[in-house]
Homo-oligomer: A and B are copies of this chain.
Amino acid sequence: MPIDPNSPIEVTAFDWVPPFARGQVRDLRVRWALEEAGLSYRTRLISARERPDWYFKEQPFGQVPYYRDGAVEMFECAAIALHIAEKSEVLLPRTEPDRSRALTWLLAAMNSIDPYVMNQITCDVFAQGQEWATLRKPSQTEMLERRLGQLADALGDRDWFAGVFSVADILMVCTLRTLRNTSADIPQTLLDYVARGEARPAFKAALAAQFADFLPDPEGVPA
């Protein structure tokens, strides 16, 4: 439904990634926010294997998503999600202290949790077998698991980090679910939290839309 070739909102995504990365690329977060807000969008697909030179003029690091809506052009999934959230009370409470709580947890996802998650994925997946990664992994895993324990304590028995569901949960759920590709031990509180996020119809629609945009795997494999 929110996919509409005539929508003024354009999201740039990859046309192919390896199977293990499908459902993890960060345009998912923006698609999810748009689905929650009921805003339609079209996609523009680029190659992840041969990122076109012109794309670095738009996104300096060559990453996705890139977002365009008239004169508004953005990157950084959390910035885009926050921009979308400002259009929809579903994603960002309008009153304090709920609004500032959502901002806190959005940034916590991106700066206090995601860097630990990415370092874990580096040790477990991208740098697997490299000597430094093997040596580093025990202390890295210990740091991550300590932080996940603190995060679980902070969530407690609430369903969502800002009390009500908000844009912060889109970023936090998507960050935590990438840990499935790692050896980290995830507290049950956080597994249940991720499952709550993944059960939302908007999440499911966003995930299906990301998968639908990928070329079939054999065709997408580099020659």
Contact = CB atoms under 8 A, between A and B. Distances in A.
Interface residues of A, number: 43
Interface string A149-163: 011011000000000
A111 B108 contact: no
A97 interface: yes
B108 A110 contact: no
Number of this chain's copies in the assembly equals: 2
A132 B131 CA distance: 7
Interface stretch (A34-42, A45-53, A67-75, A190-198): A67-75
A196 to B, nearest CB: 19
Contacts of A110: 107, 110-111
A128 interface: no
Given A74-B103, A75-B104, A104-B75, A115 B112 contact: no
A106 B106 CA distance: 13
Interface stretch (A1-9, A17-25, A77-85, A178-186): A77-85
